[in-house]
């Protein structure tokens, strides 16, 4: 998360006008970037511009995160464990690639380039599709670069007809981390690179993250994150997922969403969907409530058990499936009439969303524990939420059915 200001960056506004707007001064201390990348809770990977998050109310990501067993990294880590402090340059336009040209024998340069290009294309395709569905607002773009490689691009839609907040954010990051931070993040994989002379492990990470909060309580919130992480010395893995947070149970909608994810998973490995669905159900649990934040999806991390090109194709297929899984549900319900009671219920469920992010989400916890920039850390939260003392849905009501679905995991397909 940006927590120091000097240097320079140019904010780009591509609201179909090609205009270049405010120039800002900034130096980024990216000490919070890596835990967010590792967890998938990227928040634009901490690269938001000072003063812009509040003005645009940008949500970046509450994307899929690693299992709760890894939260000790967030609770105990210090900023010095992860470092990628670089001066940011003005970015009149995005270069062809944010990957360093010299990433040859010491890294999987072809995969780094291929992953970045795939994520760029997915970002453009997803935001264009969402604009069409919204029918009102368009995405604004922020871009930034760093002299020795890396940077990012945020696309933000605010105050739309359908979405109150929507953001799709690309980041390519270089830095280094202490071995203990890497060990906590890769405990399932077991692969451990050797640290360099300074005791830290150089890394590369690229990811695309998103969160979308619609206005209509009959339209679900959605987020996703897909990422690739690599250290010098050849240790690599993929991670990501997509999940959905409605306010009411709609069997047809859930069959569509989960069925769409399962269809992609099944083409690559029949064991993927049941394994990754359970992982998502387990992670997105609000432990103190005994309920999940939403109605699940898929989540995976440390995926390195087969040829990297094979996993890349899986991640690419999922990225290209984001709108197919989510868009038709929004199209179906965006014009549905709703009551004040349903709106209040949506706000209460958003309260649960806030509780999960602030209490359990590893990226959020890490940022708060290490003095990160609050506006950037909390950007994934909805604009409004509601808490009522000891609220209990009426037995047999649609609200009660939803609570049951969050307490007792259901099989949708």
DSSP bridge partners of 291: 286
Cα separation of 402 and 397, whole Å?
Answer: 9
157 forms beta bridges with 166
Q: Is residue 392 classed exposed, middle or buried when 0-12, 13-18 and 19+ CB atoms within 10 A define those classes? A: exposed
User: CA-to-CA distance for 181 and 137, rounded, in angstroms?
Assistant: 40
Helix (H) or strand (E) holding 236: strand 236-245
Q: Which residues of 247-258 are buried (b: 16+ CB within 10 A; e: fewer)?
A: bbbbeebbebbb
Rounded to whole angstroms, how far apart are CA atoms 273 and 269? Answer: 8
Contact 179, 195 (CB under 8 A): yes
Q: Residue 150: which of 125, 172, 118 has the closest Cα?
A: 172
DSSP assignments along 23-74, one per residue: EE--EE--TTHHHHHHHT--GGGG-PPTTHHHHHT----------GGGHHHH
For residue 89, the SS3 value is: strand
**Please, which residues bridge with residue 299 across strands?**
241
Of 140, 213, 223, 333, the catalytic one is 223
Residue bearing tokens 């949708």: 412
Phi, psi of 322 (to 5 degrees): -55, -50
Q: Is 140 a catalytic residue?
A: no
The H or E element containing residue 101 is none
| Residues forming the active site | 223
């Amino acid at each position: 998360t940006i927590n120091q200001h000097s240097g320079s960056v140019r904010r780009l506004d591509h609201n179909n006008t090609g205009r270049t707007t405010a120039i800002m001064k900034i130096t980024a201390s990216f000490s919070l970037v890596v835990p967010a990348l590792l967890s998938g809770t990227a928040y634009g990977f901490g690269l938001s511009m000072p003063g812009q998050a509040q003005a645009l109310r940008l949500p970046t990501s509450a994307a899929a995160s690693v299992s709760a067993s890894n939260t000790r990294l967030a609770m105990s880590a210090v900023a010095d464990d992860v470092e990628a402090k670089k001066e940011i340059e003005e970015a009149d336009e995005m270069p062809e690639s944010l990957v360093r040209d010299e990433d040859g024998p010491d890294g999987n340069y072809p995969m780094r380039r291929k992953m970045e290009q795939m994520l760029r294309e997915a970002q453009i395709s997803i935001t264009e599709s969402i604009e069409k569905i919204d029918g009102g607002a368009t995405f604004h773009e922020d871009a930034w670069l760093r002299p020795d490689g890396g940077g990012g691009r945020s696309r933000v839609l605010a105050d739309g007809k359908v979405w109150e907040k929507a953001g799709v954010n690309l980041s390519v990051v270089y830095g280094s981390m202490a071995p203990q931070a890497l060990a906590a993040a890769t405990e399932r994989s077991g692969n451990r690179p050797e640290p360099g002379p300074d005791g830290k492990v150089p890394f590369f990470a690229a990811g695309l993250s998103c969160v979308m909060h619609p206005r209509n309580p009959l339209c679900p919130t959605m987020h996703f994150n897909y990422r690739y992480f690599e250290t010098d010395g050849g240790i690599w893995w993929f991670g990501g997922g997509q999940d959905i947070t409605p306010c009411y149970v709609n069997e047809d909608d859930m069959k569509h969403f989960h069925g769409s994810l399962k269809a992609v998973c099944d083409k690559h490995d029949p064991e993927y969907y049941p394994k990754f669905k359970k992982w998502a159900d387990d992670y997105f649990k609000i432990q103190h409530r005994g309920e999940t934040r939403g109605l699940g999806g898929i989540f995976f991390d440390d995926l390195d058990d087969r040829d990297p090109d094979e996993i890349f194709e899986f991640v690419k297929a999922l990225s290209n499936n984001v709108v197919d899984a989510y868009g038709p549900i929004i199209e179906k319900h965006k014009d549905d009439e709703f009551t004040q009671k349903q709106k209040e219920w949506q706000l209460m469920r958003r309260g649960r969303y806030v509780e999960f992010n602030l209490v359990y989400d590893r990226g959020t916890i890490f940022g708060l524990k290490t003095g990160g920039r609050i506006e950037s850390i909390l950007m994934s939260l909805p604009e409004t939420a509601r808490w009522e003392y000891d609220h209990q849905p009426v037995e047999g009501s649609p609200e009660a059915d939803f609570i049951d679905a969050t307490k007792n995991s259901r099989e949708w397909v």
